[in-house]
Amino acid sequence: MTKPLPVKGSKKLLNAWAFYDWANSVYNLVISSAIFPIFYGALTLLKDDEGNVVSDTVRFLGIDFNNDTLISYVTAAAFLVVSFLSPFLSGIADYVGNKKMFMKFFCYLGAVSCIGLYWFNMEYLWFGLLCYFLALIGFWSSLVFYNSYLPDIAFPEQQDAISAKGYSYGYVGSVLLLIICLVMILKFDMFGFEDEGTPTRLSFILTGLWWIGFSQYTYYHLPKGNKQENFGKDVLFNGFKELKLIWGKIKANVPLKRYLRAFFVYSMAVQTIMLIATYFGIEELDWGTTDSTTGLIVSILLIQIVAILGAYITSKCSQRFGNINTLIVLNIIWIAICIFAYTITTPMEFYCTASAVGLVMGGIQSLSRSTYSKLIPEGALDTASYFSFYDVSEKIGIVIGMLSYGYIAQVTGSIRYSIIFLTLFFVVGMLLLTRVNKKP
C-alpha cells in the first residue's frame, strides 16, 4: 500500500516537521549547553583540595591550550566544515530530489557521535574531541535540510507560527531529557552508581538514542524532496550548477540579500553567546557556598523554559509589527543583555541574565528562520539550496564569533571582554536590518 502524499499546510505535516525540534534539540541542551560543558570543565580544570582552580591548561597535539580556547577552536573548525559542506550537498539534494536522505545521514552521524562521548577521557582526548566535532557537524548539517522544508510544508502565513512551535517543542523535549539526566546524576546512589561520573556519561548515550528515536516520526511524514532527477555520474557537477544558480537568484533578490547580511552579523553573536554561556558561568562567577553545577543547571533550565514563552510572544509581535521591526527590537534587547552580563558577579545576577536571554533567544531564532523562508520566492523548488546559504551565513558567523571569543579569552584571560566585543555585532546587525524591506 502506497503512503498518501502529504498535503502542504496540513496539521499533521506541520506537526511532524516541528517534532524534529523535539528530537534534535536535546543535543543543543545536553551537549552544547549543559551537561557536556560542565563535564568537560571538570575533566580539564585542575583544582586543589579546597576546590580552587590551579590550572586550566590542556595539552593537545603537543601544544598547551587554555581549556576554553581548545574547545572553542574545535567548535570553530566543525562549523567551518559545515559551512563548506552543506551548500554543496544541498545543491545535490535539490538536484536529485531526496534531501530527506541527507537529513537522515547527518542526524545519525550526530546521534552516534553523541553516544561516542561516553568514552571521553584525558587519556584519549583526541577521540573525545573527534566525537564532539562529528556530533556538531551532524547536528548543524541536518538542520540545513530540516529548515529547508519550511517553505515546502507551510504557506507564508503559517511559517512564523510553525517555526515558533518547532522551537517550543525543542525546548520542552530537551528540558524533559535534561531533567531525566539530572535525576540520574544527582541521585546516582539510588540507581546503583558509585559516583556521578557514569550517569553523566550515560546522558550522552541517552541524547543519541532520543535523537534517533523521536526523529522517526518526522521522517515518516516528510516528503523526499522536490525535484526527481537521476543520481547519475554528473550529480556532483549538477549539484554545483544548482548552487551557482541559487546564488545568482539571491544576489538579484535585494531584500533577501540584505536580510542575509544582517542575519550573518547578529547571528554571529547570538550563537556564540549560547555556546559560551555555561563556560562563562563556570569561570567568571563567585558562587560562594552555592554549588556551581546546580546553579548552572538551574540557569540553563530557566533559559529553556522562558524561551518557550519568548518564541510565542515573538510570533505574535511579528504578526502585529512585522518581522523586521520585531527583529530590530530583539537586537536592541540583546545589546542591553550583553552590557549587563559584563558586570555580573553573583548567581542571582546570572539567573536574571539567563531569564532575559531565554526570552529573546527563542524569539530571534524562530523569527529569523521564518523571515528567511518568507523571502524565498513562493513555489521555489530549490529550498535546500536556498537554506544552505542561510546556514552558511550562520556557521561562518559562528566560526568568526568563536575564534574571536577564543582569542580574546586567551589574550585577556577573561570571557567578559569577549561578551563586550560581541555587542558590536548586534549593533551592526540592527543597523543592517533597517535597510531590509519591512514587508515580511
CATH architecture of 14-48+58-226+235-433: Up-down Bundle (1.20)
Q: What is the grid cell recorded at 198?
A: 557514569
Amino acid making up residue 283 = E
- Distance CA(297)–CA(109), nearest Å, equals 27
Structure confidence at residue 238 (pLDDT): 58
**Proportion of the chain above pLDDT 90, given as a percent:** 15
Supply the pLDDT for residue 382: 66
In the prediction, which pLDDT does 102 show? Answer: 85
Predicted confidence at residue 391, as pLDDT, reads 77
Are 144 and 132 in contact by the 8 Å Cβ rule? The answer is no
Going from the C-alpha of 247 to that of each of 78, 176, 389, 392, the distances in angstroms are 23, 40, 8, 12
Q: What percent of the chain has pLDDT over 70?
A: 81
Statement: residue 205 has pLDDT above 90: yes
Distance CA(361)–CA(355), nearest Å, equals 10
Question: Mean pLDDT over all residues of the chain?
Answer: 80
Q: Pairing state of beta strands 53-55 and 46-47?
A: antiparallel
Question: Which tens digits make up the pLDDT trace of 293-338?
Answer: 677 777 777 777 888 788 888 888 888 888 899 999 999 999 998 8
The rounded distance, in Å, linking the Cα atoms of 330 and 175 is 24
Give the three cell numbers for residue 319. Answer: 504578526
**Cα–Cα distance for residue pair 199/142, rounded to 1 Å:** 27
Write the DSSP symbol of residue 123. Answer: T
Q: pTM of the entire structure?
A: 0.74
Q: In the predicted model, what is the mean pLDDT of residues 265-274?
A: 83
Q: Which residue has the higher pLDDT, 101 or 68?
A: 101
Kindly tell me if the per-residue pLDDT of 236 is higher than 60: no
User: DSSP code of 32?
Assistant: I
Ramachandran category for residue 192: left, alpha or beta (phi over 0 → left; psi -120 to 50 → alpha): left
How big is the chain by its Cα radius of gyration, in Å?
Answer: 21
Q: Is the pLDDT of residue 158 over 90?
A: no
Distance in angstroms (rounded) separating the CA atoms of residues 128 and 22: 25
Produce one character per residue of 60-99: b if its CB has 16 or more CB atoms within 10 Å, e if not: beeeebbbbbbbbbbbbbbbbbbbebbbbbbbbbbbbbbb
DSSP 190: G
Lowest pLDDT segment from 89-103, 228-242, 260-274: 228-242
Most confident of 156-160, 245-249, 397-401, 431-435: 431-435
When pLDDT is cut at 50, 70 and 90, the band that residue 237 belongs to is: low
Domain ranges of the chain: 14-48+58-226+235-433
Q: What is the pLDDT of residue 239?
A: 56
**Which range among 222-236, 250-264, 372-386, 412-426 shows the weakest confidence by mean pLDDT?**
222-236
In this prediction, residues 376-388 reach a mean pLDDT of 72
| pLDDT digits 0-9 by tens, 22-40 | 999 888 878 877 788 878 8
The tally of CA atoms less than 13 A away on the side-chain side of residue 5 is 7
> 116 falls in which pLDDT band (50, 70, 90)?
very high
Phi–psi pair at 66, nearest 5 degrees: -60, 140
Query: What pLDDT, on the 0 to 100 scale, is given for residue 1?
Result: 46
140 close to 395: Cβ distance less than 8 angstroms = yes
Give the angle 347-327-14 at the CA atoms, nearest 5°.
Answer: 95
> Is residue 185 over pLDDT 80?
yes
pLDDT at site 307: 80
Q: Which helix (H) or strand (E) holds 66?
A: strand 63-66
* Coil, helix or strand at residue 65: strand
181: left (phi over 0), alpha (psi -120 to 50) or beta: alpha
Task: Tell me: pLDDT of 225 over 70.
Answer: no
Residue 268 confidence (pLDDT): 83
* Cβ atoms of residues 405 and 255 within 8 Å: no
Residue 62, helix vs strand vs coil = coil
Highest averaged pLDDT of the listed ranges 50-64, 78-92, 195-209, 358-372? 195-209
Q: What are phi and psi of 400, to 5 degrees?
A: -65, -45
Flag the least confident range among 350-359, 367-376, 390-399: 390-399
**In this predicted structure, what is the pLDDT of residue 209?**
96
In this structure, how many other beta carbons lie within 10 angstroms of the beta carbon of residue 172? Answer: 16
Residue 106 has which C-alpha cell?
A: 547527518
Which candidate, 36, 28, 129, places its Cα nearest to that of 76?
129
Which secondary structure element, helix H or strand E, spans residue 100, and what is its range? helix 99-116
- Rounded-to-integer distance, Cα 340 and Cα 344, Å: 7
Contact 32, 138 (CB under 8 A): no
H or E segment at 168?
Answer: helix 156-186
